[in-house]
A and B are shown apart, each in its own frame.
Chain A
């Protein structure tokens, strides 16, 4: 210990006080920084709600809520015992959908007022199935799924028969409930026999269907 080193006690004192000031200031600023992080976290959470809501959009809504009843044409368009390709404009479209808003389906008039309306999409992976009247089969070009005239699975990779639309006859027109692309997720729970019974249950729901234009006036033009 040299005297010179011991000499400036006051200096040391000032540096200590400066240091303590500095560290006090530091800890205050650290606190403020943490507070700002917290604030930004809160702002982020507030922002995340609309962003995630926008992104997920309608993903959480009830299955089949996009469906509405549309007409495929008068019964006279469909000869008994024949299966015909019918195109309809999807009830939910945007103006920039172009041709993709037109959806085909297969209408089979078994007899009289007994119909079956099949989705174009193969129950395997959604490719367009084609009807072959001579061999009475629907064939899929993608992986060779085959279905009988009544939509039942005949062979190939599909695990079930063709998807069917709910349908009814209204004022001499064949109406189907359409709007959503049929997939296993939307159709798996539907047991085909129940489709016939559902007509009475959904009668109330159908009451307002006579005016499909109300749903989207602009798309009907």
Chain B
């Protein structure tokens, strides 16, 4: 054995004499870090890097089978899922790895922000980190396109429609994005190039810079309330702290990173095994229009925001908000490079994270069940509850049929079934009088189309008669107060005096 050991040392020395990389690498991994940074809060960056490696490995393996042409991509995914041994599992890991990567990059960013790590001298580390977030999201979007199914096809349509709104050069940008006049073969080739060559190249280069700067400047010290960052003294203070409390990064601090990375990898594998791969949904045939396209998880919140913006604000918000948001993130360390790092002394920072997290969460949740979308088949799939037909006159029952046939339920629910776009109709008669209902049905308004052209007078009468019976749990019907006054005061009006 000692012979073997000596021989391996000799081999190592042979390489080391020529490469000279061993010594600086060992020095780098063993460099001293302040003991307080050996924390479970400091594990997200390394976990994101590990998932990146996982994504690259699984991505290369998927590329062995994937056919990046519009006519074959979807078929090759089916082939991967069903004909290639464990192909489905590789797809599942790659898909879930992407979701985990976006999530961990966001958590890493929030942690770094709350710990004031973007302050002097780590401003550039943060700025590169912002680009890493954007590149990660770019990978998520282009990856969704490569899963060339219905969602991917119409997602490209949404992307092209957004780009087309850019003033003046919108049309040229759409051509550039699609690689042709429509979403087709050249479009997929473009996104394949972005997903496989361009963005990963940039991502790896920037991760290299990011890690290099962390090594060069030292990991952010654990913030203490009242310990302010000053450009004149910070570096000296940091070195004193490292000298006083320093521990070797490997192994004293890195074991937590390693354990967390293993847990995250296991979580990805567990999700892949349990939930399986994402899609592909229907084939990318634009002539199959029976589809409700939806973006992947990371972009659901944008999908939701675009549903709620008023038309007049939409284009400005689409292009001004991202510039402001990304600009603010990029400029943050330049405007506030000094001062307090600890979250307990930075209430605005904590509030911002809370508000942003709740906002993104709420919009994502809305994006998951899209209450703004009509349910296109509700009118033929959901029956009127029997209770709403009992003890009704023939005219009222005829109205129930009109309600069904005229697709009202695509937007209005009854008995808990139907669209959420408009208000539920179960107790509509307790809120609207018959006259108001007739007006609303015929003229529309308040986000409801006018049905004057789609309903005959008899259909309108029947429909509204049926609606007046919908008073929820026997609530009292809506009444027209002014009408009541008119009726009750009528006898008091003196009869007109004739000439």
List residues of A whose CB falls within 8 A of some B CB.
Answer: 56-61, 63, 66, 85, 87, 90, 92-104, 120-121, 124-130, 132, 134-137, 139, 141-144, 146, 148-149, 154-159, 179-181, 183-186
> B153: CB under 8 A from chain A?
yes
Partner among B173, B184, B407 whose Cβ is within 8 Å of the Cβ of A100: B184
Contacts of B451 in A (CB 8 A): 135
Q: Are B292 and A141 in contact (CB under 8 A)?
A: yes
Q: Are A143 and B372 in contact (CB under 8 A)?
A: yes
> B421: CB under 8 A from chain A?
yes
Partner among B181, B183, B411, B454 whose Cβ is within 8 Å of the Cβ of A179: B181
Shortest Cβ distance from B193 into chain A, in angstroms? 11
- New contact pairs (6) apart from A97-B185, A158-B311, A159-B311, CB-CB < 8 Å: A90-B182, A124-B161, A142-B154, A143-B306, A183-B171, A185-B174
Contacts of A96 in B (CB 8 A): 69-72, 185
Contacts of A99 in B (CB 8 A): 70-71, 283-287
Nearest B residue to A152, CB-CB? B449
Q: How many A-B residue pairs have CB under 8 A?
A: 205
Nearest B residue to A103, CB-CB? B286
- A125-B158, A143-B306, A154-B444 as given contacts; A94 in contact with B186, CB under 8 Å: yes
Nearest A residue to B167, CB-CB? A185
Q: Are A59 and B449 in contact (CB under 8 A)?
A: no
Partner among B158, B173, B186, B450 whose Cβ is within 8 Å of the Cβ of A127: B158
Partner among B153, B175, B410 whose Cβ is within 8 Å of the Cβ of A58: B175
Most buried by A among B157, B178, B184: B184
Q: How far is the CA of A125 from the CA of B346 in the complex (A)?
A: 40
Nearest A residue to B162, CB-CB? A125
Nearest B residue to A143, CB-CB? B307
Interface string of B62-101 (1 = CB under 8 A from A): 0000000111100000000000000000000000000000
Closest 5 CB pairs of A and B: A98-B71, A183-B164, A126-B157, A154-B449, A185-B170
Q: How far is the CA of A129 from the CA of B293 in the complex (A)?
A: 11
- A142-B292, A143-B307 as given contacts; A100 in contact with B182, CB under 8 Å: yes
Q: How far is the CA of A120 from the CA of B287 in the complex (A)?
A: 9
18 A-B pairs in the complex with CB atoms less than 8 angstroms apart: A57-B175, A59-B172, A96-B70, A96-B71, A102-B286, A104-B287, A124-B306, A125-B161, A127-B157, A130-B376, A132-B410, A142-B292, A146-B374, A154-B444, A157-B310, A181-B181, A184-B164, A185-B174
Q: Are B181 and A180 in contact (CB under 8 A)?
A: yes
Q: Are A97 and B184 in contact (CB under 8 A)?
A: yes
Q: How far is the CA of A158 from the CA of B50 in the complex (A)?
A: 43
Shortest Cβ distance from A146 into chain B, in angstroms? 5
Q: Are A181 and B406 in contact (CB under 8 A)?
A: no
Q: Are A66 and B449 in contact (CB under 8 A)?
A: no
Q: Are B421 and A144 in contact (CB under 8 A)?
A: yes
Q: Are A157 and B182 in contact (CB under 8 A)?
A: no
Chain B interface mostly helix, strand, loop or mixed? Answer: loop
Most buried by B among A127, A137, A139, A185: A185
Q: How far is the CA of A59 from the CA of B177 in the complex (A)?
A: 9
Interface string of B446-463 (1 = CB under 8 A from A): 011111011000000000
- A139-B410, A146-B449 as given contacts; A98 in contact with B185, CB under 8 Å: yes
Q: Are A60 and B172 in contact (CB under 8 A)?
A: yes
Q: Are A149 and B293 in contact (CB under 8 A)?
A: no
Shortest Cβ distance from B442 into chain A, in angstroms? 13
Partner among B157, B170, B289, B450 whose Cβ is within 8 Å of the Cβ of A85: B289
Contacts of B283 in A (CB 8 A): 99
Q: Are B286 and A104 in contact (CB under 8 A)?
A: yes
Q: Which of B278-326 contact A (CB under 8 A)?
A: 283-287, 289-293, 303, 306-307, 309-312, 314
Partner among A100, A124, A181, A186 whose Cβ is within 8 Å of the Cβ of B70: A100
Q: Are B307 and A157 in contact (CB under 8 A)?
A: yes
Q: Are A143 and B291 in contact (CB under 8 A)?
A: no
Q: How far is the CA of A159 from the CA of B406 in the complex (A)?
A: 25
Q: How far is the CA of A87 from the CA of B284 in the complex (A)?
A: 15
Contacts of B454 in A (CB 8 A): 134-137
Q: Are B176 and A148 in contact (CB under 8 A)?
A: no
> B180: CB under 8 A from chain A?
yes
> B415: CB under 8 A from chain A?
no
Q: How far is the CA of A104 from the CA of B288 in the complex (A)?
A: 9
Q: Are A102 and B407 in contact (CB under 8 A)?
A: no
